[in-house]
Structure formats: C-alpha cells, structure tokens
Structure 1
C-alpha cells in the first residue's frame, strides 16, 4: 500500500511523530545515493515508524511514490513475492512466477519500496531484494529488520533508542520544562491521549526521566507505559517496573500483534533465534552493565556452547540487535538493554540455571578482582584501572549475590578487600565505604578475609577524612589480627592508622606507627604498591614535622622502587609529597614541577583524590608565584574535586589552616568579587580541563591560528562533545575510517596528543 499521510493506529501515527528529525533528514540524503538501506535495531525501538516517516517525506521524489509492505503476515519464504506483489497491486494474471512477475512489473517504475519486518524471512528477503535491484533500476529499497539483509551494496543504519536525560541532569531550568529529549516528549504526548491535562513539570520530571531510562528509551515500551497513566501515577509505574512484562501488557491493540505488548515484541525476537542463541541470550543476562568477549567466554560457555563458539553466537545476537556492541576490535564491549536482559533472566530462571550462572559470574569477577590486586604493582596499572572501571557494574552484581545468598559472605569479604586499589586509586571511595560496610556487617566469623576488609575499610574512611570511623575499623582489625596471628594485616593496619593519626594532628604518634609499618614490610619481604606508598606516607609526616630533607630522601627511595617496577600510583604520591616538601622549603617552582608530574599520573588513573590534592597544592604555588587569578581558579577546581571524594585535605586541621590562609591572601589580592568569579570558573572545569589548565597543556595556537578546514572544525567540536570516532562518523554520515583520518589531522594540526586537549582548545573558543 502507498505510504499514507495518516493512519489511525498508535504504531502508525505519523502526524505526531516524535523525535528522529535528524535521522530522517540524514536518511533522505543517504537514500538519494544508495539503493538499499536497512534500518536495524531491537524490537520496539521505532524502526517501522521511522521508515514510514521517511517514506512519507520522500514519496513525491519518486514518480510512482513510496510503498509500504508489512511482511509480518508472510509466514513462509515462498509467500514473500506474493505479499509484496499484492501490496503493490501487481495484477495476478501472468503465467510467470510471482517473483518474475513482480520484477517485470517494477522494471519500468520509479518508486521507494519499504519492506517492513524482514528478520523472520531474512534469506528470502535478501534474494528478492537482490533480484529487484538488478532488474528494476528505478526501485530504491528501505528495509526494517533486527539484523542486516547481507546484500551487496546494503547500507546498514542502526536505529538507537530515543534520547533521554541523565538521571542526574533533570533539575528544573528557567521557565520550566526543557524539551529536546525524544523519550520525554513521546511520553508526554502519548500520556495526553489518556489524560489530556498531563504535563511533565518540575515535580514530575525526575520520575519521568527515571521511567524512560528504565524502559531503555524504547518507543514501544514508553507508549505502553503511557497508557497505564489512566490508572497509575508516574511514580507508581516506576515502582512496578520490576515486572515490566506484566505491567506493559496492554495498550496498543490497534498495532501489529508483535507490538501489542512488550512481551510480544520480545517474544518475537526470541522465537527468531536459534537454540544456541536463545541459550546465550539467557546466560548473558547474568551480566550487569557492559561486558567484553573474554568475560562472556568465561561466564557463559558450557554444555552445548563451547568457549570457541561464544564469539560466533554473540556476533549473531549483535546482528539480530539483541546485543548492543560498543567500540571496535579488542576494545569492543557488549551490553543488553534492561528490557532484553530482564526477558533473558526470566528465561534463565525458568530453566533453573539462574543461581548457577550468578555463582559462575561471581566467581569470575572475584578472580578478576584478585588478579587486579596481584597485577597492580607494575606497568599495567592504567590498563587495570580501565578494566576495573569497565567491570564496575558487574562487581556490584557479584557483591549483591554474595550478600543475598546464604553461605557466600566470605566471598564478599574477599572481593571487597581485593578491590583495595579500585576504591582508593580509581576514584571509588564512597562505593568502597558502602560495600565494605555491607560485607563486614554480614560477616560474623573471624577470618583473615575479615581482618583485611577491616583495614581496607579503615584506609578508605581515613582517605575520606572520616578519621573516627577509620580508627574504629583499625582497632577492630588489630584485635582480630592478634587473634589470628596475622602480622601482614597488622602491618597494613598500622600503616594507615599512622596516616589517620597524622590527619588528627598527632604527628609523633603517626611517625612511630609508619616507621613500624615500614620495618614490618621490609622484614616480610613484601614489595608492592602499598609498601612503597608507606615510605611516601612517612615522608608526608616528615614534611609536617619540619623534616623536609628527610621527606625528600624518603620520596627518592619510594620513587626509585616504583620506577624500577613501572609502578605509577605510589610514584604519583611520592611526587606529591616531594611537591609538599619543596613547598615547605619555599622552592615553589620545583614544587610545581613535582605536583604536575603527580597530576598527570593521577589523571591517567582517574585518581580523583590525588587530583584534588594536586590541584590544591598547585594553587598554593600559583599564589606564591603571584598569579592570583590562576590560584583562585585552581582552588575552585580543587573544591569541586574534593566534593566528590569526602572532606577536603583528608580532614587535616593543619593543611586546612594553610588553605584558609591562602584564601584570605587571594581575597585581598583580587577583592572578593574577582576571587569569587575566578573560583567559580575553576569549580565548573571538567577533569580534563583541570589537567590542561594546571599543567599548562592548553598548547597555544600556532601563529595565525591553526588552519583547520570546515570539516575538521566540525570534527573538533564533536570531539569536545565526547563523541567516539564511530559516533562522529554516524553524526556526519561518513565512514568510520574517514572520521579517524579527520581526528588524526586535527590532532596533528593543533600539535596535541590527546582528545582532552582538543576539548579544552574548543572550550576556550566557545
């Protein structure tokens, strides 16, 4: 049938088509030069509606218009040509085969043929489309499918979920609700069909954003949820989303059968999968967030799925839009939309495999946590940090399993303790306090794992500036270490207890404890990031005790061991203490050099605590250098960074007094208003901007400014938005290889080494 300007059904409502405006415009351009475009995406993401809307916009561009063919009713491959011919009105009087008759009919025509819902007849559709493109030069095909047709010359166009705000970015704006998020606009419009007075305002915005997020931005799911607003509030719908398939079971009776309920849409996808694809889909539901191929091979292989088969099956699920792929090559990561994941978990539970898979998932991530601790001391810290960051959601899921499953609490202690560097070096102090507190509360029996979790918990609390909680944890650890005769736990406990005493102002006691810890580490022969850190910590105390010379010697010792092993994190703290020591000696330029070295290392590890400390002391050196505005901006940046960690300057009264003194000096030098303005600029800096500003890595433009082409300027702006090369290619409708070339040219012309520097450069010209 020709594409109509209006259809009465919810699924085909084009006059109130929400969002996708950019995609529509870009698709029109692509279809002007490409004869086959396939819209691919998960069920319910809006492929059909997008195709109809594009067809409506292009109908007048073709002499014979645009024609829409719903293939859902073609139950057998042999019936496909008949269904297409019937939709096009091809006379059924020829002795030719249906496919030949269709090709003959289209040979002299110029039209856009929209084939909707090809996935269940994939091979037949591919064969038919190939034949038509060869025999009918005036025909352009726009197909929708959950995987590409695989035809030569096909342009595969992924259809993403609708745009949604971050849950942390839903604060009211001046004048009320800010439009521009497709999911929220769709929710509001569809809700008005059942409740005409409905609006998303300042009070309901957070619940609306949460609802759209929980529904993965899928138009079908949002529309079905909107119908429920007849009887439920937004908050009530969100609360009931744990059983989303039961909740979203009615509401689209006029649409295709596969779209009348959310379950029907996902059932349709599940039924089109092979047995092994269904099994892997179910097993992948054990993952939280994203996962890598290696993770899937370790957790999901078994039974009829061999390890070497996982990649092939996973790739097939990606092709079918069940699994989303992010990144390329060895950096590729995969994830399931929550809606797809919930369905897979339901199937896994029905098969009685959910507990076993959750335990296998936990065992794998427990092993990963312990390997990261063992492997941290070396040249791979940055890659370990990245890997741990990527696995964060899965660590949370594994810890939840340990806490919710009887008899698994000991494994929870092991995991939380093994993540010591993740908590402290990778910017997750608050998360560490939460999980360590939970696993310790669940562990009643004395054990070495509990002793370790206690000193790690104390270490995290001390780093946040919560010295009261830290000292309680250390006291409990010392009692348990004595009971278990565990000298290693005692040594680590004394080490971090020494820093806690330092921050309380008890410098002599701190020095005694840290010296004991250093001696104990040496006796035991332990050499790792924490034992090397102990030497730098002792140097820190020495600085505050006016022993700067000794502090520098200790920093040299710590640095030498770190550099010999390629260690970065403890080295960064040695640089920071060296900067503090030089500051106490009034050697401010040398202090700034050491602090910048520290900041670069900490940025590479995303060590927010360390970056906060570096920005703070760099502000002090800037003030001493007479660059008051710069100092005020750095203090603002440090304040924003400290806010995400805990108490500023570890809660140290002595350091806080120094900070207050510099604030007073800067307010006098600049006057309160200018100081406040500069401070506010610093508070608004991103982490990358702080690095660039503090380390003078903004790299001034070449004389006359960099000669970027118009396209390169576009690419630079997209880099500043945080887009990957693949996303830049999609936005500009160019190949990924072309996008990569533009990015390389931008970096070369600006003499930059990182995308962060490009972002900072763009920001200065905004």
Structure 2
C-alpha cells in the first residue's frame, strides 16, 4: 500500500474533540457519496476529515485514502497526484484521468481530497466524472467553498466550542464538556511547557484568548507556542497585532499553516480583485451587519450597489463571511481574525479613514431615523434594529472620538440615540458615550444643548440626581444663549422629575405642568411629550392627587392608542398602577402593572421592568401573599442592580419600600424571608416575567390589537412567515416584521405558536 493511505489511529493527536462533528459527518457518509467540508482557513477541516476517515476506514473494503491537493499547482496535475497517491499503475498510453477512473471503477474506497479550493473547477469536473463512472467510490473533500457538483452535501466546519466568558467553570478532570478550544490550548501549551495546567485564575484569561482567536484551532495552537516566552495575559494584550504575534509555530505543517498570516493569505489569494476589495471594505463593520448596511457602506469606487449582494454571496461561499440570523432576516459577520486581516489590507490601500467615515455616516442616519420614527407602532422593531447595530454604533462613536474634526458628529449621534439609551435598557452605555462626546466637543452648539438634557435625563433615571442637576443647569444656560426654547422645555421636563426624586414635590409639579403646557401649546406630539403627561401624573400621586393622576394616565392611553405608542404608554400604565395602589384598588393596580411589564419586556427596558416588579411586590403583600411579595423583592434587587439606584433614588418611594420589606420580614420571619428573597434574586428574567404576571391577568382581559395587528395575528395563525405576510398584505417585509413584534409584545408571548393558539381560541 502507498504510504499516503489515510491517517491511522496512532497518527491522531491526543486532543479529543469534534465528537459531535465526527458523528454528523459519519452519518452523512451513510447516505451521500460526496461531502465537502467547508470553512475558513485554520478552522480544522483537514483534521476533521482525517479523524472521520480513521473512524470509517474499516467500512470500505479498499480503505480510505488521503490526497493533499495543495501541492497541485496546475489543473492538469490533479489526476496525476490522485493516481500517484493511490498507486495507480502508469502503464497505459491513454490519459492519466482515464486510467484513474478505470482503477477506481473496480474498488470500494473513501477518497479524501484535501484543499480543493485553488483548483475548484478542475476538482468539480474530475469528481463529477469519478462519481458517474465509479459507483462504489465515496469522496470526502475539504475546501474553503463548495465544489458545486450535483448531489454534493456541503458541511460547514464550525470553530471549536468555547465556554461563555461569564461562566467558565471547572469540573472534575478538567473542564465541563464542550470547551474544546480550552482543551486544545491546554494540551498544546503542555507540549511547550511540560506540566502546564489551567487553574482558576488562568482559566478566564485563556477563555478570553480563545474567544478573541474565534475558536480557530490553528490560531490557538500558534498562540500556545508563544507560552515559551510569554504569559497568557501577555499574549492576550498583544493580540491587536495577531498576525505579528502568531507568526511562528507549526513548522512541521504545510506552508499555509505555519503562520496565521499564511493561512489567511491563502484564502485572500484565491479571491478575485473585486472580492478582495469587498473583503477589505466589510472589515469596517464591528459585529454583524445586514445587506442594506453592506450596500450603503461598501458600494462605491469599483463596486456598484447592485453588485454588493453577489460579492457578499461569493465571500460567503468562500467561507470569508459567515451568515447568521433567520432566513427572513439574515445577518452577516466576519471572524475577528478575518476582519483584522481585511483592516490591514484596507489601511495599506489608504481607504480606511474614508470608509470608516462612510460607515459612521450610515449609522448616524440610522440613529436619527430611530429617533424620528420612534413614535408609533414599530418601537419593538426599532429596539431590535438598534440592538443588532450596537457594536457598529460603538465603532462609529469611537471613530468620532479618535479622528480630528469629528467630535461634534459624535455628540450628534449620542444625542440621537436617546430612545436606545432610555427605552431599550442601555442607561450605563448612554452615560458613557454622552459624557465622552460632551468632553470632546465642549464648544456651544445645538448638538451640545441636546446632549446635555439627554445626559441629565439618563443620570436622573439612574438616581444620580447630583450629576443630573449639573447637566440641567448647563443645558438651561446654553439653551438661553442659543435661543432654543424646545431644548429648554425638555430640560425642565426632566428636571421636574429630578426635583421629584429629590423630594421637592411642589417644584417638580410646577416644572412638569409648565412642560406639558409648552408641548401642548406648540402642538408637539411624540413619545417624550406623551411621557411628560405620565411624569406629571407620577408626581400627582406623591402629592395626594391620585384621581388627577388617573385622569392624566387615561389621557396618555388615549393618545398612545391612536398612534400605536408603547414605551410612553408603558410608563403611563406603571403610574396608573401606582395611582391605583395609592387608592387601595389592588386588582386594577396589578393589571396596569402587568400591562406595563409586558410592554417593557418587549423593549428590553430593564429600568421599567425593575420598577414594575417593585410595585407588584407592594400589591402582593396588600393582597395577603407575603411569600410572593418576598420573591418579587428579591427579583427587583437583581433587576435594579443592572440599571442604577433603586426607585430612581426617590426618598418617598424608598421609604415605602423599606416599610414593606420590614412588614414582609415580620410576617414570614427572618429565615423564611431570606430563603424566599434569595429565590427571587436567582430567577432568570423569563422566570421573573412568568412569576410576576402569573396572578395579574384576569381571564377576560382582551389585549388591544389594532385592526392591522389582528390581521397579522390571523396570518400567523395560518402559519405564514413574515415574508408571506408582507406579500399577502402588500406591505414591506420590515413593516410586517414590526407588526409581528408588536403582536408578540402586546400579547406577552415569546413564540408564533402562542399567537396561533391564542387566535384560534378567540370567539
């Protein structure tokens, strides 16, 4: 037998991984004659193919044969290299290809063709002919893109599995099952530093290293070699220039695997010039992006907008770009290793600053569209869009702060993201970026006056009233200089709430009443002006005007119903719950708080969810259920920790909270109180939602869906996808997605199946 026969069991490394992948590929081999393992360079396609071959070689009478096609520099050499590996006699005057096929026709074997990507068309043609003429041959190929042969099964090889950085836990004998990247790193590290083991301190750093290397086996092995001279922490800090750091190590492997750069160079060289340009331009994205993002940012000199999709598809086929998300809403991303390579190419070409500015401009437009489009029925959809774009917003803001002359635009973007900061649960992020951009652009400007009141609003919401007041003072002064009465009105509106939380209720009522009158006088109608009415209702509760608060909340509800507004309405429901609690109407209070909680969950409004759970604990105790109240108090503690000071720092509300906790502890006793409180703290968010809403929705409560949302619910019940719903109603797919999100939010459901069951159960 030729020495190139496939790997034997004693040739395998001691690293044990890819168990699931091996099983999946083996299963495919029982039903398919051609399987192509695809994936980015260094992901482990060759190693997986060898391991599978070792597992199944005894199932083939003539064995399993491994052919390395990387050494085939010309298509004409392809059949010759395969024939030489198999030991096909060179005695015929005919073509090598004919002799190879004649030889294979009488045998049952597994043929492993490794590294087909640089001879893709030639490989496809030869493989097609082999499968046609030699019916007992099975082929397992590895390539950075599929061969495109009829009957081919393309199987993408994923990176190694990695632990969640927030939950790296040891188990007996090493790490919990599934942490293959860490297992590989530890084994390769032990090869260069005998006796090396990961302990409780180094495990988290090693997990971070594996994450930043995308779980790529080649990159992890090259990093482990560096432990001869560096600590794990030092390797992590030097990963910004990963191609310089991981430049030696695997001298025994093929040239393309001896350094990380060589592996990616191999992929880059296989791309067309326009694909190389597209790769470099896509590297400007941080995190995932969609097709529209790619078209807006990457189209330009050399690439027309209508060509972006085809080039993106080509890069997906070549395993450069990864596709994720659903069929209806696909998104794309580059592994950090691939992205870093593209950025270097972009910088060498001299287009990095221009493209980063173009990227920033695109996400600035998205931020401003989210602000202008927030007031309406698509708030849940906007929240999703903004959440998906978060990493790109951060990159755009960072560009503004690190590029001369761009700070003012960064301030503009940070102010435009007001609803993402406040309505979608990102208060800490908002404070961080607003304060950085305010410091970077100190000159008086319309952008600054807006950013000041937005920053004050966030600080006030977090309970940091001292910082909030400084922002409001600066805003009022600057608004006067710029003669901007609208900015001044919004500033005083949120200052009114800050005064309320400081205990200055009379001043708070005056400021909020003036703000409401100003907004009504100019005919302004948006989420913030509707919110002002709810804020006035809030302070009304605290000064003993609960009936007035109820009336103001009903006003908010009426306006919101017309426009499909959910966020400001959710606060109106919360204040209504507070007002009903004040009046001793506990069942209506619980219902209002439940309605608020469902809407806030749809928006990921952590602040609002915290406030709802807190008041539901008060109601539970008043209804005689101290255990339930105790669990809700525990859940509220965990929720408040993610947003800032509990209950906005309001002395009045905190005093009520303390009295209730004391009464709950007195009812249950200290030991039971601690037990139930801890149970509440340990609940997941979904568990909190289920528990908090369990006793607050009367069976006859009918959710308020608009006419269009009722139509959409019916189509969901028919089993239609978002794309099909859009076609049926003659609306855009994005609009259909928004209606579906709103239906789920209003009904408090997590799945389309729940909507279908609810719709089917209606009269």
| TM-score, reference length from structure 1 | 0.89
**Distance 1:653-1:698 versus aligned 2 partners, 3 A rule:** closer
Q: Distance in 2 between matches of 1:18 and 1:38?
A: 22
Q: Secondary structure at the match of 1:329?
A: coil
CA contact (8 A) 1:429 1:460 kept: yes
Q: Distance in 2 between matches of 1:110 and 1:281?
A: 42
- Summarize deviations over 1:98-157 as a string: whole Å, max 9, x none: 222111111121111111111111111111111111222221111111111111221111
2:750 aligned residue: 754
**Distance 1:427-1:175 versus aligned 2 partners, 3 A rule:** farther
User: Do residues 133 (structure 1) and 123 (structure 2) align?
Assistant: no
User: Do residues 35 (structure 1) and 33 (structure 2) align?
Assistant: yes
- Number of matched residues? 703
Q: Secondary structure at the match of 2:192?
A: coil
Structure 1 residue 328 displacement after superposition: 3.3
2:361 aligned residue: 363
CA contact (8 A) 1:176 1:202 kept: no
Q: Secondary structure at the match of 1:480?
A: helix
Structure 1 residue 386 displacement after superposition: 0.4
**Pick aligned residue for 1:347 from 342, 345, 348:** 345
2:201 aligned residue: 203
CA contact (8 A) 2:169 2:176 kept: no
Structure 1: stretches of 5+ with no match in the other structure: 8-12, 700-724, 726-750, 759-766
**Pick aligned residue for 1:451 from 449, 452, 471:** 449
CA contact (8 A) 1:688 1:756 kept: no
- Summarize deviations over 1:366-396 as a string: whole Å, max 9, x none: 1110010000001111111100000000000
User: Do residues 214 (structure 1) and 212 (structure 2) align?
Assistant: yes
2:713 aligned residue: none
- Summarize deviations over 1:193-214 as a string: whole Å, max 9, x none: 1101211111111211111111
2:251 aligned residue: 253
Q: Distance in 2 between matches of 1:147 and 1:372?
A: 38
User: Do residues 660 (structure 1) and 658 (structure 2) align?
Assistant: yes
**Distance 1:620-1:175 versus aligned 2 partners, 3 A rule:** farther
Q: Distance in 1 between matches of 2:60 and 2:153?
A: 20
Q: Distance in 2 between matches of 1:44 and 1:381?
A: 42
Structure 1 residue 330 displacement after superposition: 4.1
Matches within 5 A, 1:307-706: 307-696=305-694
1:62 aligned residue: 60
Q: Distance in 2 between matches of 1:172 and 1:462?
A: 42
2:704 aligned residue: none
- Summarize deviations over 1:27-65 as a string: whole Å, max 9, x none: 111211111111111110011101100000111111111
Q: Distance in 2 between matches of 1:447 and 1:500?
A: 24
1:3 aligned residue: 6
Q: Distance in 2 between matches of 1:445 and 1:308?
A: 42
**Pick aligned residue for 1:122 from 114, 120, 123:** 120
Q: Distance in 1 between matches of 2:132 and 2:669?
A: 77
CA contact (8 A) 2:29 2:35 kept: yes
CA contact (8 A) 2:163 2:178 kept: no
Matches within 5 A, 1:711-750: none
1:158 aligned residue: 156
Q: Which moved more, 1:380-389 or 1:127-136?
A: 127-136
Q: Distance in 1 between matches of 2:422 and 2:467?
A: 16
Q: Distance in 1 between matches of 2:667 and 2:119?
A: 75
CA contact (8 A) 1:579 1:593 kept: yes
- Summarize deviations over 1:460-503 as a string: whole Å, max 9, x none: 11111111111111111111111111101100100111111111
Q: Distance in 1 between matches of 2:110 and 2:672?
A: 62
Q: Distance in 2 between matches of 1:358 and 1:339?
A: 19
2:761 aligned residue: none
Q: Distance in 2 between matches of 1:245 and 1:275?
A: 22
| TM-score, reference length from structure 2 | 0.90
Structure 1 residue 643 displacement after superposition: 0.7
**Distance 1:324-1:641 versus aligned 2 partners, 3 A rule:** same
1:279 aligned residue: 277
- Summarize deviations over 1:493-514 as a string: whole Å, max 9, x none: 0011111111111111110110
Structure 2: stretches of 5+ with no match in the other structure: 698-720, 722-746, 755-763
Q: Distance in 2 between matches of 1:626 and 1:153?
A: 67
Q: Distance in 2 between matches of 1:698 and 1:567?
A: 22
User: Do residues 99 (structure 1) and 97 (structure 2) align?
Assistant: yes
